[in-house]
Amino acid sequence: MTQYFSNKVIIITGAGSGMGRAYALAFAKLGTKLGLNDFNLAGLDETIQLIKDQTPSCHMVSQAFDVSDQNKMQTFANLCQQKLGNAFVVINNAGVEGAHMPAWQMDLSNYEHVMKINFFGVVSGTRAFLPQLLSEHTGHIVNVSSIFGLAGTPNHSDYCASKFAVRGYSEALMCELQNSGVQVHLLHPGGIDTNIAKSTGGQAFSKHYLKTSPEEITEYLIKHIEKGSTRIVYGNDSMKIWLGSKFVPLKILNKLIWSDMKKVIDQKPYNLIKLKKGMFK
C-alpha cells in the first residue's frame, strides 16, 4: 500500500455515489483524512457510514450543498482546513447528466443547469481550495472531464459543452501552476458504471456504454496522481475516443461516432429535422 497519501487531506465532491464514493472509500483505506461533499444528503450519509464500517479510524468532515455555490464551497473549504488541515488532493468530481436530446430540442435552461454543476462546480472547488495547496507549495487538483470532453457526441451538446469547458479550464490551469508545486490532473472517464444517467433518455445509453466499475477507475486514478500524470484517460471506450480525437479527421470521426451511437438514440427528431429560423427555443 502506498504511503504517499497517508495522513493527507483529500477533498472529494460528489462523494454520495458512483466514482466519488469509490474515491472516498479507497482513500480512506490509504490512511487519509477526508472532506466530502454531495448535493444528496442521504447518499453522502451512506458513503460516510460505509467508510466508518470499513475504516473506523478515518477522520472526516462532510457537508451537503450545491457545488456551484461559491460561498458554500468557501465555507466548506474553511471548515475542512480548520478540522483537518490544508488540502493535499482536491477531486472536483460532482456532475450531472445532460438532457439526452438534439441541440434544437433543448431549452437554454438545459445548458445553464449542466454548465452550472459540471463546469462552475469545478471552478468553485478549485478557487476555494487552491490557496491551501499553494500555501504548502505542493498538492494535486483533479478535475473530472469525460471522454465527451474529447469528442462531441449526438444528444449530448449540453454535457459535451460542460466537459470541454472543464478540459479548457484545467489545461490553462496546468500552464499557470506548472512552477508552483501544485499539479493539475485532467481525468477523462470512459463509460463508468454509475447512476448518473437517471433520465428515461439516458437509460439505453447507460445500459450499452457504462461498463467499467468505479473501483477500477479509482485504482487507476490514485496510481496516476502519484505518478504525476496530467491527462488521465480510462474506462470503457475511452482509449478509442482519445485516439480518434487525436488522429482521425473530424469529419470522419463524426461519422464514426454517429454510426456507433445511433442505436441508443431516438431517431425521430433526426428524421424530422428541419433547421429553420425559430426552431431553437
Cβ neighbours for 175, distance < 8 A, ≥ 6 positions apart = none
pLDDT at residue 108 greater than cutoff 90:
yes
Q: Give a yes or no: residue 2 inside a domain.
A: no
Which amino acid type is present at position 197? A
Domain count, the chain: 1
Residues facing 184 on adjacent strands: 141
Q: Is 91 inside any structural domain?
A: yes
Query: What's the pTM value of the predicted model, to 2 decimals?
Result: 0.92
Alpha-helical (H) ranges within the chain are: 18-29, 41-54, 70-84, 108-118, 120-136, 157-177, 200-209, 214-227, 238-247, 250-261, 268-271
- The answer to the question of residue 79 being in a domain is yes
CATH number for the domain harbouring residue 211: 3.40.50.720
**Which residue range is the domain that position 247 belongs to?**
9-271
| 274 pLDDT more than 60 | no
Task: Tell me whether residue 279 is in a domain.
Answer: no
Q: Has residue 106 been placed in a domain?
A: yes
Candidates 159, 169, 209, 220; catalytic one: 159
> Of 114, 93, 43, 135, whose CA–CA distance to 225 is shortest?
93
Is 121 part of a structural domain of the chain? yes
4 within some domain: no
Reply yes or no on whether 220 is catalytic. no
pLDDT level of residue 276 (50, 70, 90 thresholds): low
Residues 27-86: tens digit of each pLDDT:
999 999 999 999 999 999 999 999 999 999 999 999 999 999 999 999 999 999 999 999
pLDDT for position 266:
86
Q: Kindly state whether residue 125 falls inside one of the protein's structural domains.
A: yes
